[in-house]
């Protein structure tokens, strides 16, 4: 089977896992939960085969464009969640994680899947190390994000509303960017700061429209009653960030070594480098306050949600909207 077949099987595995995980929230039977985990594992295995197959077909590491990056991100989210699940076994996080993998993979349908020969600057093992390390960190931060969302949903009221709105922002923003890029319209939104602000306002407006039904559906089904204890979720947020942070640091260092080989300098404050530094700073602040001050609870989890939105800007927004060495916009 070729990589495209495995990608289709991966999508089916993550889709079915998302559905069965959702059912397991309301049907408290062990068999349903085991089925959900099994489907997610199958999706992960197919995802692994798709990456290996694409590597074999292209005779190069498949980590050089957004299509391949999203395929890797879906895989990394599944890897990190399944690892955490061995320790905590929190069913609600499985719902969020499986949907996150599914959405990441789904975005690839909006992108060009062709494998072009790599330019000399990209032909480096340091690039592969850089990308893999960063995406493991992004996946860990994604798991911390879904745990923080679950924490706020558990608290109900305004906190639930903020959590759901953050989900809308996190999904609508990339969808807009990839959709505009596919239609050849994204260049218009990268011409000036005004267009970028307009794109952000459109994201916020669409997210608000989607937020209304999602909020009332969440309340109607009393999703908060199916969330685990706040202290457990808070612990998952912290440990996921603590796990991902060293990979972020190592990924940035590997990127600097690669940049020196490719462009003759370790750091040049390219927009991607700048936003990577901002991401590093955000999570360093979280870990610093957690370790020294024991920072936890509502404010800490809100901060971690903001941190993941920064990750999305770093990963997708900068690549497509801001002109630089990492820009994909035409």
Q: Rounded distance, CA 325 to CA 141, Å? A: 25
CB 314 within 8 A of CB 275: yes
Q: Rounded distance, CA 10 to CA 16, Å? A: 10
Domain 1-123 sits in CATH at 1.20.120
Contacts of 292 (CB under 8 A, 6+ apart): none
DSSP per residue over 82-118, as a string? HHHHHHH--HHHHHHHHHHHHHHHHHGGGS----PPP
Contacts of 274 (CB under 8 A, 6+ apart): none
The pair of three-digit structure tokens given for residue 258, joined into one six-digit string: 């690669």
- Tens place of pLDDT per residue across the chain (330 aa): 788 899 999 999 999 999 999 998 888 888 999 999 999 999 999 999 999 998 888 777 888 788 899 999 999 999 999 998 888 888 788 899 999 999 999 998 888 888 777 776 667 788 889 989 999 999 999 999 999 999 999 887 788 888 899 999 999 988 888 887 777 666 655 556 677 788 888 989 999 999 999 988 888 888 888 888 888 999 999 999 999 999 999 999 998 998 888 778 888 888 888 899 999 999 999 999 998 888 888 899 999 999 999 999 888 888 777 665 555 433
Specify the pTM.
0.90
Torsion of CA 201, 202, 208, 214, to 10 degrees: -140
Q: Rounded distance, CA 301 to CA 148, Å? A: 5
Contacts of 69 (CB under 8 A, 6+ apart): 63, 131, 135, 315
- Cα distances from 123 to residues 127, 199, 218, 259, 308, in angstroms, run 8, 34, 47, 12, 30
- Provide CATH 1.20.120 ranges for the chain: 1-123
Nearest in space to 172 (alpha carbons), one of 139, 138, 199:
199
């Amino acid at each position: 089977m070729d990589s495209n077949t495995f990608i289709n099987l991966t999508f089916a595995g993550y889709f079915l896992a998302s559905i069965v995980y959702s059912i397991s929230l309301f049907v408290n039977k062990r068999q349903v939960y085991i089925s959900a985990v099994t489907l997610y594992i199958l999706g992960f295995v197919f995802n692994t085969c798709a990456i290996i197959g694409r590597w074999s077909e292209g005779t190069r590491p498949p980590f050089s464009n957004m299509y391949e990056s999203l395929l890797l991100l879906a895989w990394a989210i599944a890897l990190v969640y399944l690892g955490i699940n061995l320790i905590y076994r929190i069913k609600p996080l499985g719902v969020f994680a499986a949907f996150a993998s599914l959405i990441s993979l789904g975005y690839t349908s909006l992108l060009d899947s062709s494998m072009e020969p790599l330019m000399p600057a990209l032909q480096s093992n340091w690039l592969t190390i850089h990308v893999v390390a960063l995406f493991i960190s992004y996946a860990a931060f994604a798991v911390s994000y879904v745990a923080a969302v679950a924490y706020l949903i558990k608290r109900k009221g305004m906190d639930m509303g903020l959590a759901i709105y953050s989900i809308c922002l996190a999904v609508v923003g990339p969808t807009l960017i990839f959709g505009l890029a596919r239609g050849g319209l994204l260049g218009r939104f990268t011409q000036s700061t005004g267009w970028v602000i307009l794109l952000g306002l459109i994201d916020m407006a669409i997210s608000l429209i989607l937020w209304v039904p999602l909020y009332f559906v969440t309340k109607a089904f009393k999703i908060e009653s199916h969330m685990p204890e706040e202290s457990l979720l808070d612990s998952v947020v912290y440990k996921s960030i603590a796990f991902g942070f060293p990979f972020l640091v190592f990924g940035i260092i590997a990127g600097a070594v690669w940049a020196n080989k490719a462009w003759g300098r370790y750091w040049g404050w390219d927009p991607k480098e700048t936003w990577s530094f901002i991401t590093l700073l955000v999570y360093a602040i979280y870990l610093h306050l957690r370790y020294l001050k024991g920072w936890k609870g509502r404010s800490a989890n809100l901060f971690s949600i903001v941190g993941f939105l920064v990750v999305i800007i770093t990963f997708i927004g900068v690549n497509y909207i801001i002109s630089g060495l990492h820009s994909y916009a035409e």
